[in-house]
A and B are shown apart, each in its own frame.
Chain A
Amino acid sequence: MSGFGLEQIWVYLSATPLLHLFATLLAFIVATRINRWVGGTPLLHPVIVAIALLIGFLLLTGTDYATYFEGAQFLHFLLGPATVALAIPLYDHRERVRRMLWPIVIGTMTGIVTAVISAVSIAMVLGADPQTVLSLAPKSVTSPIAMGIAEKLGGIPSLTAGLVLLTGVVGCIVGPWIFRMTRITDPTIQGYSMGLAAHGFGTAYCFASVGAVAGAFSGLAMGLSGLVTAFVLPSIVHLFGL
């Protein structure tokens, strides 16, 4: 009898947005704790752990993504205003941009072109599906912008979201190693390169492991490259006939 009652409650709860909104917040809190507990490694980034926990939860309870998203959409919706809010740190950094205008303009353009062309051409050479290629193209850009770009191009926004997160992890692992090998010690250059190639993950890494100047430059690179990529990526992708 009590089993039947629980089932009734579950049927009711799993159909309301409440359960999955709550589950998302809970998973994020647990994931943040886990990440702190293992010493803040980017390999177990809170976002990645939270996504894994929630996917496990959905598989276990046999819930489909559409049902989950009814609850989670309230958080997802905030990506739009959050993207607009990236104008705030950009405005705060305007003096820095003015001082280093040329290195920033040239570095940003070269970086973006490298990121997009290398991702698209490697994936195409390896025989990826066109939709996969389009989802990979904006991988270095911060998630809300990357997902918007993927959607406009005809890629798969949620696949892009996952690839962007993995790019961030990869960047935090290979970045410091590349800087050591090529003897790049300037924190502004380290920060800018990490922010451009590995968006918010690179920025978080720079604040935590390099310093405040590197972090600020990384945040600047993330905002600027996101903005510029949204404008130039469609024409670069067209060059590949996609």
Chain B
Amino acid sequence: MTYQTALVLEALAAGRHHGWDIMDATDLPSGTVYPILRRFEEQGLVRARWEREGAARREQRPPRRYYELTPAGHSRLADARMRFRAMAGLGAHMARRVNPA
């Protein structure tokens, strides 16, 4: 596990469910975030699905891909927190961090 994968886990746990939102929260480039998400999905740490049409239509945009942690993902996050103690409190910071305006 690298620090970057830990960051992505933390961002997911902090309620960032879309690729670009995770980039906003972690400051990681798109070329890093997406492969991490895809590997998580393969390893069963993350579940991905498409948003429902309705929510998207209300905001006048196409439906986005929605990622959320599975139980295995949560336990992996716990491991990561043990390993990278500096991450403590990062989740709260990410949750607070505003979207770019």
Whether chain B is bound by chain A comes out as no
- Chain A residues with a Cβ under 8 A of chain B: none
Taking Cβ atoms with an 8 Å cutoff, the residues of B that contact A are: none
